[in-house]
Amino acid sequence: MMKEIVNRLKEKFPVTAEIYQRDDLTFVTVEKKYGVDAVAYLKEYEGFTHLVLLTAVDWLEEGEFQLTYLLNNPKAKHDIGLRVRIDRETAEMQTAHHLWPAVTTYEQELNEMFGISFPGSPRQGHRFILDEAWQGPPPYRRDFDTKKYSEETYFPRPGRSKIDPAEHMKKKLYPEGM
């Protein structure tokens, strides 16, 4: 069943990878330039009318972001995850807000937290989750050091020490040693 859908998708767009996770869950990867077209095809022709989520994974070592459009077919109760790899440096992707208005929110979040830009999408660059005065880099990128940022910005109180719970309990329960 899912194989047929993927095969039909393959005829239209070059699919670079496919994973059959469960009977009702499949992940396919397409190239960036076919991404939104493939989503539109799945929505219009294959009945995947519901967008569950749009999320990003930061593959720092490979220099790429992986976007996942998770789509759901409410009639057949199938899910398909459409993955797109985009370059980490330019970090740009076509917008899909014309398919579902709700995509705008996901795109705004990715724009804010990962620094991925979606040209043409509404409310890009407007503050959404972060504070209006946020100056730092996008905080969900893996090369963003939250500890360093926090220490530089939020006036840490000195004298903070760390205790390993296992060591502490061992010392407390068996003072003479095991």
Residue 77 binds other proteins (CB under 8 A): no
Give the interface size with other proteins as a residue count (CB under 8 A): 20
Q: How far is the CB of 125 from other proteins (least distance, A)?
A: 14
- Of 106, 124, 116, 119, the closest CA to residue 141 belongs to 116
Residue 134 binds other proteins (CB under 8 A): yes
Q: Is 122 left (phi over 0), alpha (psi -120 to 50) or beta?
A: beta
The Cα 129–Cα 84 span in angstroms is: 24
Residue from 23, 133, 143, 178 touching other proteins (CB under 8 A): that is 133
Residue 128 binds other proteins (CB under 8 A): no
The Cα 18–Cα 81 span in angstroms is: 10
From residue 138 to residue 177, the character string flagging contacts with other proteins as x (rule: CB under 8 A) and all else as - is -x----x-xx-xxx-xxxxx--x-----------------
The dihedral formed by the CA atoms of 53, 127, 57 and 60, expressed in degrees to the nearest 10: 170
Residue 115 binds other proteins (CB under 8 A): no
Nearer to other proteins, 6 or 113 (CB): 113
Chain-centroid distance, C-alpha 7: 26
Q: How many other C-beta atoms can be found within 10 angstroms of the C-beta atom of residue 39?
A: 24
Footprint on this chain of other proteins (rule: CB under 8 A): 130-136, 139, 144, 146-147, 149-151, 153-157, 160
